Amino acid sequence: MHAETLTRNEAIPLDVPALAMRGIGKRFPGVVALDGVDLTLMPGKVHALMGENGAGKSTLIKILAGVYGKDSGTIAIGGVETELKTPRDALKKGIKVVFQEIALISEFTVAENIFLEEYPRRADGSIAWKTIRAEAKALFDRIGFAVDPAARTGDLPVSQQQMVEIARALAHEAKIVVMDEPTSSLTPKEVELLFVVIRRLTALGIAVVYVSHKLDEVFEISDTVTVLRDGRHISTKPIGEHTHDSLIHDMIGRRIENLFPRSRTGSAGKVALSVEGLSTDTKLKDVSFEARAGEVLGFFGLMGAGRTELAKAIVGYDPIRTGRITIDGTALKPHDTRTAVSLGIGLLTEDRKLEGLMLELPVQQNMSLAALSSFAKAGFVDEGSERSAVQSFVDRFRVKTPSLFQPIKNLSGGNQQKVLLARWLMRGLKVIVVDEPTRGIDVGAKSEIFALIDRLAGEGLAVIMMTSEMPELLGLSDRIAVMAEGRLTATFSREEATQERILNAAIA
């Protein structure tokens, strides 16, 4: 029965809206997340949902998924008004959601996660494990996704987990498929794959909601765009009526002159970080490079190339087998984050939730963590100066939060990222390693972060940036290092670097 899921469902009429949300309102303590928002989806069309961080996109989607109850408004599916009280209701109505935060059970196999919502069963009611594995394999083959269905999900890199999530949305019949930032950690190749899948879905008459901060993707895949700002509905237009600039203007209410500002003039200074012959038991092999004060050193690599491992090894988080890391001439003790941090190196991690956020704690505690000792006199924390420092960063980065005491789990993803970046900037650093710094961040905030990185480098910081975004790599980096399978395969200067050369080195 599952094999037929990808054929056109004749029962879906193409002229009735698959979904009509009208006047949706939702408030959280201290925040109006949504205020009278409309969203209409037509069958077989891709509808992009855009807006700054905290605009309310995920909230709208969670209402659609039955996760949150709405405070006001109506929802009609296929022309029939309904209530979506629980995720189960939504699933039954044929709404499949790929959430922004990965929603898989890491202890389960990939195949089991695919069928989490409804296990195929045998006649006696027991779970048909063979069917599950076979169907998962068949599904993956169909969408050209090469992953072992028997692998433990938690062992997969983030990008593959995200693909598993997407595949999961296809395992059962759906009328509406919603994707909340599905590509935030996908490689370009996987994004292509995803688009093929989306086009297949629309051909079947399925309505797709697509949330992304990546303008190029939106222009490529979507038919219609709805823009939200501060929880309000700003515009809904066919994509053809938009330009890059008009879309950005709708989203943030202003124009962005230059996404990749370059104010730095001076050349790079002395060596701030030097890594020699670094190898780990798991992935890295003989990596050597230098980063200079005042430069942005970009790292590129395909998924699993080892950038995250490199980042964690340099800051002393993961053990290393051989190699020497020095900061400003002082050698680091291996596997010792504390001295690394005290010598002035910090890592903005790729996995916010697992390694960055203290979810239950307020914004203030989250932001001041790394710099806390600098607010302390004789072991006592001066909370006054701590708070004013935090407040100034909240203002500068435009972190959207009702107060400094808001538990950080209630902030939108982008705002959480800003808090974590601020965590490091509050503390004087010599080297900052940023791993996918703009993952899940809106254009406005992106340009702010880019400006910030530029300014930090201008102030003499060595910035090491691991990113999978080619434009941001080319736009910001002074030099670009490329990794493949745990080795450093090439280093280009800003002038030498082209997309082809970089990709060639990454495949090598």
Partner 1 sequence: MPQSPSLSASGSASPGLARILFRRSEIGLVVALLAVILFFALASDTFLTVRNLTNVLGQASLAMIAGVGVAIVFISGEVDVSVGSLVAAVAIPLITVMNATESLALGIAAALALGLCVGIVNGFLAAYLGINSLITTLGTLFILRGGVYLYTGQKAIPDDVMLESFFQLGNGRLFEVVPYPALIAFALLLVFAYVMRHRTFGRKVYAVGGNPEVARLAGYDVKRVKFTCFIISSLLATVSGILLASRLGSAVHVAGLGFEFQVVAAVVLGGVSLSGGVGSLFGAALGVLILSFLSNGLGMLDLATEWQLVITGFIIIAAVGFDEWKRRQP
Partner 2 sequence: MTTDTLPARKRGVSLSALTDNSQIVLIGLLAVLCIGISLAAPQFYSPDNAIAILRQCALVLIVAVGMTMLLVAGEVDLSVGASLAFTGCVAMDVTNRTHSVVLGALAALAFSGAVGLFNGLVVTRLKINSLIATIATMMILQGGVYLYTREAVQNHHLLDAFTAIGAGYVGPVPIPVIIAAVIFAVGYVTLRFTLFGRYLYAVGANLRAARLSGLRAERLKLLAFVITGLLVGVAGLILASLMNAGQPTAGRGFELTVIAAVILGGTSLAGGRGTLFGTLLGVLVLKIVDNGIIILRWNQDLQMVVPGLVIILATWLDIVRRRNDAR
Ligand X SMILES: Nc1ncnc2c1ncn2[C@@H]1O[C@H](COP(=O)(O)OP(=O)(O)OP(=O)(O)O)[C@@H](O)[C@H]1O
Q: Does 437 bind ligand X (CB under 6 A)?
A: no
**What whole-number distance in Å separates Cα of residue 145 and Cα of residue 318?**
30
**What whole-number distance in Å separates Cα of residue 487 and Cα of residue 178?**
38
* 3 state SS for 147-214: CCCCCEHHHCCHHHHHHHHHHHHHCCCCCEEEEECCCCCCCHHHHHHHHHHHHHHHHCCCEEEEECCC
Task: Indicate which single residue of 165, 309, 448, 478 sits in contact with ligand X (rule: CB under 6 A).
Answer: 309
Task: Indicate which single residue of 359, 470, 507, 508 sits in contact with partner 2 (rule: CB under 8 A).
Answer: 359
Q: Does 72 bind partner 2 (CB under 8 A)?
A: no
Write out the binding residues for partner 1, residues 48-77 only, by CB under 8 A: 65, 67
Q: Which does 470 bind (CB under 5 to 8 A by kind): ligand X, Mg ion, partner 1, none?
A: none
Q: Does 116 bind partner 2 (CB under 8 A)?
A: no
CB of 482 to partner 2, least distance (A): 25
DSSP string, 47-88: EEEE-STTSSHHHHHHHHTTSS--SEEEEEETTEEE---SHH
Q: Does 149 bind ligand X (CB under 6 A)?
A: no
Task: Indicate which single residue of 7, 29, 126, 146 sits in contact with partner 2 (rule: CB under 8 A).
Answer: 29
71, 392, 436 from 281: Cα distances, Å: 53, 42, 24
216, 277, 344 from 318: Cα distances, Å: 36, 16, 17
205, 286, 428 from 431: Cα distances, Å: 51, 21, 9
Are 401 and 415 within 8 A, CB to CB? yes
Q: Which does 33 bind (CB under 5 to 8 A by kind): partner 1, ligand X, partner 2, none?
A: ligand X
Task: Indicate which single residue of 290, 350, 448, 478 sits in contact with Mg ion (rule: CB under 5 A).
Answer: 350
CB of 454 to Mg ion, least distance (A): 23
Write out the binding residues for partner 2, residues 364-423 only, by CB under 8 A: 364-365, 369-370, 372-373, 376, 379-381, 383, 387, 403-407, 423
Q: Does 233 bind partner 2 (CB under 8 A)?
A: no
Name which of 352 and 423 has its Cβ closer to ligand X.
352
The angle at the Cα of 199, spanning 197 to 200, to the nearest 5 degrees, equals 65
Q: Does 17 bind ligand X (CB under 6 A)?
A: no
Name which of 192 and 382 has its Cβ closer to ligand X.
192
Structure tokens at 17: 């809206």
21, 51, 195, 398 from 412: Cα distances, Å: 22, 12, 26, 13
Classify 434 as helix, strand or coil: strand
Question: Site for partner 1 (CB under 8 A): how many residues?
Answer: 33
Name which of 301 and 346 has its Cβ closer to partner 2.
346
Q: Does 317 bind partner 1 (CB under 8 A)?
A: no
| Contacts with Mg ion, 52-91, as mask; x by CB under 5 A | ------x---------------------------------
Q: Does 100 bind ligand X (CB under 6 A)?
A: yes
Residue found under tokens 């994004």: 191
Bridge-based pairing of strands 345-348 and 431-435 is parallel
Position 350, amino acid: E
Task: Indicate which single residue of 63, 268, 305, 432 sits in contact with ligand X (rule: CB under 6 A).
Answer: 305
39, 205, 244, 248, 446 from 237: Cα distances, Å: 12, 20, 13, 14, 24
Task: Indicate which single residue of 5, 16, 71, 129 sits in contact with partner 1 (rule: CB under 8 A).
Answer: 129
Structure tokens at 330: 């002082």
**What whole-number distance in Å separates Cα of residue 201 and Cα of residue 48?**
15
Are 255 and 229 within 8 A, CB to CB? no
Segment interacting with partner 1, rule: CB under 8 A, options 73-81, 144-152, 334-342, 415-423: 144-152
Write out the binding residues for ligand X, residues 380-409 only, by CB under 6 A: 400
Write out the binding residues for ligand X, residues 333-362 only, by CB under 6 A: 350
Q: Does 381 bind partner 1 (CB under 8 A)?
A: no
Task: Indicate which single residue of 153, 162, 183, 308 sits in contact with Mg ion (rule: CB under 5 A).
Answer: 308
Binding site for Mg ion (CB under 5 A): 58, 100, 307-308, 350
Binding site for partner 2 (CB under 8 A): 29, 315, 317, 337-338, 340-342, 346-347, 349, 354-362, 364-365, 369-370, 372-373, 376, 379-381, 383, 387, 403-407, 423
